[in-house]
Structure 1
Amino acid sequence: MNALIGRLTLGIQARLVILVLVTVLPLVGLVSVAMIRAVDSERARIERDVRDRVENLLADVDRQITGVQGELQVLAVSPSLQTDDFAAFDRHMREALKIQGTSIALHDTRAHQLLSTTRPFGEPLPYETNSEMLDRVVETGKAQISDLIIGAVLRRPILTVGVPVFRDGKVAYVLAMGLGPEILSALLNEQNLASGWNAGIFDRNGLIVAHNHDLGRFIGQPAMPPLRTQILKSGEGWFPSITKGGLPVYSAFRRSPISGWTVVIGVPREYVDAPLRRAQWLAFGGGGMAVALSLALAWWMARAIRRPVESLTISARALGSGASAGPPVGGVRELDQIGEALCATAAALEQRARAREQAEAALRASEERFRMLAESLPQLVWTCLPDGRVDYLSRQWLDYTGMSEAEPLDSQRLKQVIHPDDLPATTASWAAAAEGRAPYDLEHRIRAADGTYRWFKTRGTPVTDATGQTIKWFGTCTDIQDIVEARDTLAHSREQLEVMVEERTRELAAANARLRTEIGARELAQAALMQAQKMEAVGQLTGGIAHDFNNLLTAVSGSLELLEARTSDEKSLRLLHTAQRGASRGAKLTQSLLAFARKQHLEPVPADLNSVIAEMSEMLRSSVGPPVDTRQSLASELWPVMIDVNQIESALLNIAINARDAMPQGGTLLIETANVLAGNAELPDEMAGRDCVLVSMRDTGTGMSPEVIEHAFEPFFTTKEIGRGTGLGLSMVFGVVRQSGGAVRIHSRIREGTTVQIYLPRAIETAAFRLGRATQAQLAGGAHILVVDDDPDVGWVTAECLREIGHQVTEARSGGAALTILEQGGPCDLLVMDLAMPGLSGVETVRLARRARPELRALFCTGYADDSTFEDETGGDVLLKKPFGSDALIGAVQRALRRKADRGSGNVVPLRRGEQPQSRR
């Protein structure tokens, strides 16, 4: 404005008028603004009051809804509802109706009304078509509130509140209360709003559910478009609108977080805007009068000031031309002071002009000395102003960079000589130093005139005046190319050394890892070898014990059978039977020891698995111990299977022991059998197309992971600590089952137990299998038999059994004695030989005897378990395992006598303990 006034060359009078306007108008404006702000404050107060009323009204509505939810939740846990006693619950619902105009209904999860207080109990109820709220209750499991709907029974507008009724953690019913709009309208009327004020409640769709004026007219109608847009967009607000009746109002609204409904109160605009219009008229009228009075006073004062100012102007012009200026005409004290100051200023200006000339001469001399000093230094020297503009570069700088003195020293030209990679750091470092007025220190590359770059160390120091303000920067650039190259060489050497050390460290770490792996593998192999050697020693010890014990049992059992055949006294027979049962239990104990040592010769015979399991039940219980509850579920009419009973017993015993180890705190072991038809989807692939018998052993132990199951049948694989398991149990089970033509499977989950399933092929029942015990009359004969056994008791019992059925028997106690008897030429149809004897073994004795008598037949008896080489050494003679009874001995003798003299036929008839001799049909 001052520039505009200067261009218009206004006089004192005009300027004083402008001054008055500039002074008075802001005061008038301030007064007007104050009045308007007071009105705005009043409007804000009205707005706050209306908003508070809306808040209170909304709280009343929410309390009403919350109270309804509370009543419904109390009803939802009613015992009669939990027991589906709908008649009693209907009475409870009607007793709970405390508010006029409300109703309660019970719905199922498909929105069917089951009960309603609007109809007597038992009367059919219509389907609830407005089921959106009910569906939300079922989906969320929480209380929900509907928008305005038409009731299914009374067909009038209502609002419903629904709560879930839970049963077993799921929503079983929805309990809903209907509220008539008149209940909410009563809340509006209780607010005692001023005449002309409007209040309403809108649902989530913007429909009117309650109104304080003419509810029947407005119920269910949508809000006016501007109002509806606002309440659907925002949670609360204040804005101008128009009511349904056309009345302009200011509306305050707020949405409930509980129901989603919006409460609106409209205040007539006339009530809010009238104070503002009165304030505006007052401000404009009073302000205009103040401005007019001030202008008149300013005009009069300006005329009194103009003459002294004109005199002062004459004196100033004289001073500008260099002439002496006399004192101006007075009249105004301030203008007189200005005139005296003009005279003093003229004298001071003359003195300053002489001093400036002397200072300029001294500055030129100082600059020349600085230039000479800078150009004598080997560094590149520069200076710049506080804003960073360079004002001097030394001759060395110009020669190095190839710049000329005629070039302008602009920042872009100087940036061109800085290496592009170093330019950002250079700029940032300079900005930091300039801002902090601290020394500038940086290493960067500067381009030479030939285009090459060299490393320089640039330092800059600020030069300050007496007040501490920077007036100039002085700096140098020192060539450090050789230092940087030496530093890079040293860094490269250090990196190479670190790489070499790191590579050697990795090699040492890898070597250490390999060494640890080899040591661990060696320790595991040694532990496995020790365990295998221990098991081998146990097997050998068990085999030796079994041989001796079998000899004893053979003598005892045979003698008891002979006594039984020669005794008719009932008391004596009872004693003999008791002794015979003890001998049988001893035989079973021997077989259990052999099964544990895995020394059994595979002797498959038709057998009933149910009987096998029943016979070994006691042994299973004693093996797993009292903490484990052993149970059986055996199928009726189970098919027979061809198995080596001893081996299968050993397999089942191994599985039971594994189950026991998996249940250290006790549990249940369930043994089940079943027939499985060919084509059953559960059959293993290798058993497809065959009828099978299934033996399943299920425990409730710790279970196995898929990784453990994958390796469970591998030899020496075990999850137990060293010394507690051989790792051969399940591998032996797998071998026995596979050798028997079957398959084995494991199903297990961690902490859920393990099930081992054994599938064995069904055996075809033959007449021999069904025949049972043959009579001694069928087996009678009169052959000449030489019995050879180093144990006199076993030899005598064997001979007596054969004599009982009419054979001619000769006894020998060694292989040599038997050969002597044969050399004497006596008749001999069959040699009954002990397989293992001191001196000549049974096989060696038979081999020597057949040199003279090739047709000689032999029956070998043995108490050893390991007879794997028997067939290779004898060519297929009959083998009889000790201990044996008279029936087994007689049957074996008959088979041996029926064999042809040609031993190459390979007709081996292995017999197991307890097998009965069979006749041919």
Structure 2
Amino acid sequence: MDGAEPVLDVLGTVQASEARYRALVEASAQIVWTCDARGRVTEDSPSWRAYTGQTPGEWLGLGFEACIHPEDRLRALETWHRGLREGRRVQQEYRLWHHSGQWRWNHVRAVPLLGPGGAVESWVGMNMDIHDRLSAQRMQTALYGISEAARGLGDLYVRIHGIIKAFMPAENFYVALLDPGGDTVRFPYFVDENDAPPPALRMARGLTELVLRSGAPWRLDPDRIEELVRGGTVVLRGEPPLDWLGVPLSMDGRILGMLAVQSYRGDVHYSQSDLALLQFVSGQIAASLERQRAEEERKRLEADLQHAQKLESLGSLAGGVAHDMNNVLGAIHAVTQTLKAAYAGEDRLLGSIGTIERAAVRGRDLVKGLADFARKDLREACAVDLNEVVGQECELLSRTLLQRVRLDVALEPGLPRVMGEPGALGSAFMNLCVNAVDAMPEGGALVIRTRSLPGDLVELAVDDTGQGMEPWVLQRAMEPFYTTKPYGKGTGLGLAMVYSTAKAHGGTLTLDSRPGEGTRVRLRLPALAGAPAPAAAEPVDTDPGRPLRILLVDDDDLIRDAAPELLELLGHRVATASSGPEGLAMLDLDPDVDVVLLDVNMPGMSGLETLALLRERHPRLPVILATGFLGDATRHLLATDPHLLALAKPYTLEEARVRLKEAVSR
């Protein structure tokens, strides 16, 4: 008995030690486990089972390997086996399966227990869950990464995708953006193991639209996806996912788009914390998108301003060129008409003269286009029914269009009138239609619409389904003489004239075009509430009238040489002066002049300055301002001076006769 007592004491001590060890293991917040010298689990660990959800049968032996993340498993086992061979402690980190369905990061340490001979008898290990701490650290890194990436959208989506993958299984990730019109979705970033990147799509009933329409985040498992599909809420596109997360991209209550991750694997499931991370990332992307859009809008406005300034400069240049060319063409035109009258019976000579005259007329039309581009105001404005103008032009258009082009017209009833020139608006509209038809050599549709817009605006829309324009062509489309048509097929003044007409009417002209997608043109004009109908034009008396004494004041010697002969064909007598001061001096010497034909644009003393001095001495003397361009000051004088008229350069014999008759009859 005496010899047995020490043995009992030893056994009691061992049992007490084991009890304390077991109590320590069960009370620990960490996972404590033991295994034999070969690394096989030999004892149950309640903390392991509680964490992983494995049963004792699954856990004992080498069952623990199944709970290590597949991507971490090879690395973890190599480290473990190296520790077994060398008999030294093991320390590593890997993701471990959690019973909630989430892979969580663990810090693992294992220490060998040596026997009396120094050999490893067993191992004691401990797993510490560091997922939340590691996530917090990585979130700080992610915050910096997202902040840096969000400075520009160049590689933002790629970098965001990499950041998300560090926190969740996100091999399949895409970004969808909603076009400003709200009816089209495009996918600037799309990475998927099963489906190719989709093209821009009309809004439908996919999972993407579920987020865009609701403006809310969605976390969907297979059962919920099946329920939505069965109920008709969702129509799937492509390979159906097993798990899906989608969150909106929104800024100030506006839905800009959405981003989503999806899984096709049965062992990958998304948690609420994954959804929260995705929502955080979406906020960063939305802010970056908004910054980019603001920057693009600023650049667009700057480009528009530069383009407007460029066109303004071109307009000033065009006005100057038109003035000089008008003088040249006016002289040619006057001489040809004089020669036609002088050689009325010589057919061969008249044929040559006619060729010169046709060339002058063509040149006059080109110069008129330049003058129209340069002008900033309206010559004879009245209240215009835009529907009536468009309707009249469409009647002509429908008779001249080839059958290959379908004409689709929709004019809004009761459209408010606009203040403008019916002829200028009709010409502008026809120019747009001609360009549209030329862009559809293989056929297509020409769509014409009018409508009223908020802000007291009236819109004329001309759309075609033609070839469209490259960006560099679109950028220069409204410049005078810029054309992509073959030589002899266009002057390049069509859109320039339309732009000028829009500007003169206080409106805007916008073009939207892409290669292969046609062109959309919008002409917007200020509406005129309660405007009266335009008055009918007064018939002009064509009686030649009595011979007149005319003083022609023009600085251009071509005009002074050619115009008198033209006017003398009408039976008038013409004296000429090369400047304003000379003309005033001649009036002082011969006050019996019937009409003064005064050039507006002259160096030194201009035509308007000459007119001001002339009116001090001869307040009722008829004066005709000869010019190719009417500015604001000229129009004001024409409206306030009953003895003042205008004659557009270059003028024909008939135009001069009518205007002179009108001048002396007032």
With a CA cutoff of 8 Å and minimum separation of 6, indicate the structure with the bigger relative contact order.
2
Q: Tell me the TM-score normalized by structure 2.
A: 0.47
Give the greater-gyration-radius structure (CA): 1
Higher helix share: 1
Q: Tell me the TM-score normalized by structure 1.
A: 0.36
